[in-house]
């Protein structure tokens, strides 16, 4: 009898420890974007396109929207006063035009990745404003009609919803935000203009502050077309409810919604891991399924697209930036599709 009982408990134990079954698939069922009615994008580094054929091949086939991960940022594109480094941005713009991919410009005004000269610019508010105008209009003007949309202002809010005390606020004042949008609109009246930020999907007070800001600007007549919810999230948080609240709030207010920098961390606590646990890959796929459902619930005309912040796990900014091992993207380190990808094409 005892023997039977122990065997039974043993079987139960084994069942519980059994690895979950993971969806498997290939990229043979056609491009990822072809499975969706909205654009599916990735952040790209042109240097990786040139040096890594697996990366370049997926960038070419799977995505129909591209966000430059770094090369449009001021530190790269505008390294000295009056000096613009167009070589890489021109070739990325040309690549997108040739391949019929949408290019989303990221980012014009931000407090990070600024060149030394800009951060230390000497001048009064009017001079700062004209420096900002020149920066925005030189870039947007050059790519008028070629870059479909821009993150005009990035991360202007603190987590509590107050305005971030950054260089632009300090030198120009609160109006830097609306002026940045006005300058961009003057340079390309047809481009779609976005405000982009993180944690809007996890911090209700920040979400509300961003929505208020966008509505106030729009009421004043400033052209502001959409919101970029960066969505650097994890399998642990935020809840699906919280994501849905944010997505719905902006959609109800009539803005385009771009899930603009999506990655789903499976190791947010920074544990010492060398490979992803199957259970975590499954949770990552489940999170993606929930995000797709939430996103597909908003009107199609407001679905600007979902952009992943990189292609393979080894391209992700997370390990370098946060100093932890992670596996947050659609493809693994060898560029094989992960369960999250398989769930998307299901
Ligand atoms: C990150 C890039 O991925 C990194 O390569 C770079 O070192 C730092 O910036 N929010 C943004 C993006 O708007 O521009 C950031 O990109 C990630 C957070």
Three-state secondary-structure class, residue 176: helix
In terms of Cα–Cα distance, which of 233, 291, 288, 222 is closest to 255? 222
Our answer on whether the CB atom of 76 is closer than 6 Å to any ligand 1 atom is no
pLDDT value at residue 6: 55
Cα 43 to ligand 1 centre (Å): 10
Residue whose CA lies nearest to ligand 1 atom number 12: 69
Catalytic: 174?
no
Residue whose CA lies nearest to ligand 1 atom number 16: 69
pLDDT value at residue 19: 77
| Angle subtended at Cα 138 by Cα 136 and Cα 140, rounded to the nearest 5 degrees | 65
pTM: 0.95
Residue whose CA lies nearest to ligand 1 atom number 5: 317
Query: Residue 43 and residue 253: Cα distance in Å, rounded?
Result: 27
pLDDT value at residue 17: 60
In terms of Cα–Cα distance, which of 168, 165, 188 is closest to 177? 168
pLDDT value at residue 12: 52
In terms of Cα–Cα distance, which of 292, 339, 287, 289 is closest to 313? 339
In terms of Cα–Cα distance, which of 225, 79, 97, 232 is closest to 153? 225
pLDDT value at residue 11: 57
pLDDT value at residue 228: 99
Query: Residue 147 and residue 140: Cα distance in Å, rounded?
Result: 8
pLDDT value at residue 8: 56
Residue whose CA lies nearest to ligand 1 atom number 4: 317
Cα 159 to ligand 1 centre (Å): 18
Cα 321 to ligand 1 centre (Å): 9
Cα 286 to ligand 1 centre (Å): 25
pLDDT value at residue 20: 85
For a mutational test of ligand 1's pocket, the pick from 48, 66, 67, 69, i.e. the residue with the most ligand atoms closer than 8 A to its C-beta, is 69
pLDDT tens for each residue of the chain, 346 residues long: 555 565 655 555 555 567 789 999 999 999 999 999 999 999 999 999 999 999 999 999 999 999 999 999 999 999 999 999 999 999 999 999 999 999 999 999 999 999 999 999 999 999 999 999 999 999 999 999 999 999 999 999 999 999 999 999 999 999 999 999 999 999 999 999 999 999 999 999 999 999 999 999 999 999 999 999 999 999 999 999 999 999 999 999 999 999 999 999 999 999 999 999 999 999 999 999 999 999 999 999 999 999 999 999 999 999 999 999 999 999 999 999 999 999 999 9
pLDDT value at residue 81: 98
State how far the alpha carbon of 305 is from the alpha carbons of 63, 82, 258, 313, 329, in Å.
Answer: 11, 34, 5, 21, 16
For helices 240-252 and 278-296, angle between their N-to-C axes, nearest 10 degrees: 20
Cα 318 to ligand 1 centre (Å): 9
Q: Given the CA of residue 198, which atom of ligand 1 is nearest to it?
A: 10
Residue whose CA lies nearest to ligand 1 atom number 1: 317
Q: Given the CA of residue 45, which atom of ligand 1 is nearest to it?
A: 5
Question: Any bridge partners for residue 259, and if so which?
Answer: 229, 306
Our answer on whether the CB atom of 48 is closer than 6 Å to any ligand 1 atom is no
């Amino acid at each position: 009898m005892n023997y039977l009982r122990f065997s039974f408990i043993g079987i139960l134990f084994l069942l519980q420890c059994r690895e979950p079954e993971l969806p498997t698939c290939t990229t043979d069922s056609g491009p990822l974007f072809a499975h969706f009615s909205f654009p599916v994008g990735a952040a790209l580094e042109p240097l990786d396109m040139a040096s890594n054929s697996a990366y370049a091949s997926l960038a070419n086939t799977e995505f129909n929207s591209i966000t430059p991960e770094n090369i449009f940022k001021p530190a790269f594109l505008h390294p000295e006063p009056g000096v613009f480094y167009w070589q890489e941005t021109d070739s990325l713009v040309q690549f997108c035009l040739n391949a019929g991919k949408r290019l989303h410009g990221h980012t014009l005004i931000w407090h990070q990745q600024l060149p030394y000269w800009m951060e230390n610019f000497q001048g009064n508010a009017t001079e700062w404003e004209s420096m900002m105008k020149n920066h925005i209009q030189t870039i947007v003007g050059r790519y008028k009609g070629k870059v479909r949309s821009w993150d005009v202002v990035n991360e202007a809010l603190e987590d509590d919803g107050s305005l971030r005390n950054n260089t632009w606020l300090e030198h120009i004042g609160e109006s830097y935000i609306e002026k940045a949008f006005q300058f961009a609109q003057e340079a390309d009246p047809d481009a779609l203009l976005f405000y982009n930020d993180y944690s809007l999907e996890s911090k209700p007070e920040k979400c509300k502050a961003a929505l208020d800001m966008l509505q106030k600007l729009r009421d004043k007549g400033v052209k502001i077309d959409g919101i970029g919810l960066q969505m650097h999230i994890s399998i642990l948080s935020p809840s699906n409810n919280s994501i849905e609240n944010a997505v719905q709030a902006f959609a109800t207010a009539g803005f385009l919604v771009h899930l603009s920098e999506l990655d789903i961390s499976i190791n947010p606590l920074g544990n010492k891991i060398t490979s992803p646990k199957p259970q975590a890959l499954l949770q990552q796929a489940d999170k993606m399924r929930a995000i797709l459902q939430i996103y597909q619930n908003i009107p199609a005309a407001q679905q600007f697209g979902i952009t992943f912040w990189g292609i393979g796990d080894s391209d992700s900014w997370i390990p370098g930036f946060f100093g932890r091992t992670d596996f947050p993207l659609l493809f693994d380190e060898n560029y094989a599709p992960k369960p999250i990808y398989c769930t998307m094409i299901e």
